[in-house]
Amino acid sequence: MLPNLTPEKMEKLLKQLGITTEPIEAEEVIIKTKAGEIKIKNPEVVKTNIKGKIVFQVSGEFEEEPYTDDDIKLVMEESGCDDVELVKKTLKETNGDIVEAIMRLKQSTA
């Protein structure tokens, strides 16, 4: 267990171990996956350098979206719907199923 250290002493100890940290002011963090995107709103991001290896620690409010920006564009083009929010809502309802989303939007505009 670490002794009761002040933040200054802790930072000095970490530097001696070759570890430096730096806060990063970020408005949003987006992680793109094959299954969609994870968006982290109001994130707290810390960049840590551990002997040359860079590590990012991210915390905040997150939401998973089962679609990407490219999916939105494709659904808009194929369905003829120009309402981005409606397209996003439909993609969420279909768990990112592009074909299903296009079919639903075409039916609703017919």
**Is 80 found in the same domain as 55?**
no
**Is 29 found in the same domain as 60?**
yes
For residues 9-35, average pLDDT: 90
Token pair 């171990």: residue: 17
Q: What is the CATH number for 36? A: 2.20.70
The count of domains in the chain is 2
Would you say residue 1 lies in a domain? no
Would you say residue 2 lies in a domain? no
Find the domain containing 85 and state its range. Answer: 69-109
For residues 61-80, average pLDDT: 92
**Is 102 found in the same domain as 53?**
no
Whether the pLDDT of residue 7 is over 70: the answer is yes
**Is 76 found in the same domain as 58?**
no
Host H or E run for residue 85 = helix 84-93
The residue out of 47, 65, 83 marking a domain boundary is: 65
Q: What is the CATH number for 91? A: 1.10.8
The Cα–Cα gap between 2 and 52 comes to: 24
Q: How many helices (H) and strands (E) does the chain have?
A: 4, 4
Predicted TM-score of the model (pTM): 0.65
**Is 60 found in the same domain as 73?**
no
Whether the pLDDT of residue 33 is over 80: the answer is yes
Other CB atoms within a 10 A radius of the CB of residue 90 amount to 23
Token pair 């994130």: residue: 43
The Cα–Cα gap between 32 and 38 comes to: 7
In single-letter form, the type of residue at position 47 comes to K
3-class secondary structure, 110:
coil
**Is 61 found in the same domain as 12?**
yes
